[in-house]
């Protein structure tokens, strides 16, 4: 989002050789995203950050009409965001010098949005004290957010943990610790907001996810890297609606299904389309 000349441009097809400048003052964020849904006029919409003093504002702009709306204001820090496949929710991770927040807000998000961004409520805060978020991925059904976390004081990557929050039930599942593969940590995690659009960690029915890692179950730190499939707890089954207003329930330890090893020596895995 930053270059020698700080601006954010949208390039049209090469035969036109034109560009649209959306902002001359981009905020501190990783990459813009296309909204999964068209605007009310049927045009494409872009989501991006702009500077506003010491903070940043998330904007949504209709590329065809140029109409734009301020959605939310975030504090001082670098941010990365991802909108759910159905456009109903937006997850945003803001990293400051000493603090970090992973939060999710409800939509809809549109270039005609007239909400007061100062009052935009974060519906769910998934931040955990003394823990940092490395990456997050929306489920295909847009009802769950998968995120990878590790303790702030961890001296190795062996204490990473996958977590899944189910918005339709207010249920959080915390899975066992592991050491992600080197390729996943060095090539996927730093750019996860872009890979989340093409790298399929989730199964198509949103009932399981896959990953490559070392685990105490098979060799520990000195053992080989395996590709694993982690099914969600029965309580998160996709065929039954839950109660999003119920008190948050945390599922962990013996309550979570044991991951299934598929292939040894695998550094990266993905679901088929």
**pLDDT tens profile 128-167:** 778 889 999 999 999 999 999 998 876 666 689 999 999 9
State pLDDT tens for residues 248-258.
Answer: 789 988 889 99
Residue 191 CA, distance from chain mean position: 11
Average pLDDT score over residue span 42-56: 82
> Out of 37-51, 110-124, 187-201, 202-216, which region has the weakest mean confidence (pLDDT)?
110-124
The torsion defined by the Cα of 223, 228, 232 and 233, in degrees rounded to 10, comes to -40
Q: Which of 6-10, 35-39, 175-179, 214-218 has the highest mean pLDDT?
A: 175-179
Which letter, b or e, does each residue of 25-52 get, where b requires 16 or more Cβ atoms within 10 Å of its Cβ? ebbbbbebbebebebeeebebbbbbbee
Mean pLDDT of the chain: 81
Q: Is the pLDDT assigned to residue 239 strictly greater than 50? A: no
> Six-digit token pair at 218?
């098979």
Reported pTM: 0.83
Q: Is the pLDDT assigned to residue 11 strictly greater than 80? A: no
What percent of the chain shows pLDDT beyond 90? Answer: 28
Q: Which of 27-41, 102-116, 165-179, 229-243 has the highest mean pLDDT?
A: 165-179
């Amino acid at each position: 989002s930053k270059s020698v000349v700080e601006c954010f441009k949208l390039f049209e097809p090469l035969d036109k050789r034109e560009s649209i400048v959306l902002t001359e003052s981009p905020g501190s964020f990783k990459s813009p995203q296309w909204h999964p849904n068209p605007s009310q006029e049927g045009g494409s919409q872009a989501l991006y950050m702009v500077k506003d003093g010491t903070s940043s504002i998330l904007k949504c702009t209709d590329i065809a009409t140029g109409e734009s709306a301020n959605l939310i204001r975030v504090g001082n820090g670098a941010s990365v965001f991802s909108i759910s496949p159905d456009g109903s929710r937006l997850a945003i991770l803001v990293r400051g010098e000493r603090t970090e927040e992973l939060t999710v807000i409800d939509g809809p998000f549109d270039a005609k949005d007239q909400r007061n961004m100062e009052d935009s409520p974060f519906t769910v805060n998934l931040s955990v004290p003394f823990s940092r978020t490395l990456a997050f991925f929306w489920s295909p059904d847009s009802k769950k957010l998968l995120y990878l976390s590790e303790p702030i004081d961890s001296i190795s990557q062996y204490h990473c943990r996958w977590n899944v929050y189910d918005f339709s039930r207010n249920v959080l599942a915390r899975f066992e610790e592991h050491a992600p593969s080197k390729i996943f940590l060095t090539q996927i995690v730093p750019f996860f907001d872009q890979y989340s659009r093409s790298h399929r960690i989730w199964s198509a029915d949103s009932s399981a996810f896959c990953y490559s890692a070392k685990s105490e179950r098979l060799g520990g730190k000195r053992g080989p890297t395996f590709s694993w499939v982690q099914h969600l707890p029965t309580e998160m089954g996709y065929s039954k609606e839950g109660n999003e207003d119920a008190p948050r329930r945390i599922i962990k330890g013996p309550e979570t299904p044991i991951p299934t090893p598929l292939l040894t020596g695998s550094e990266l895995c993905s679901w088929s389309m």
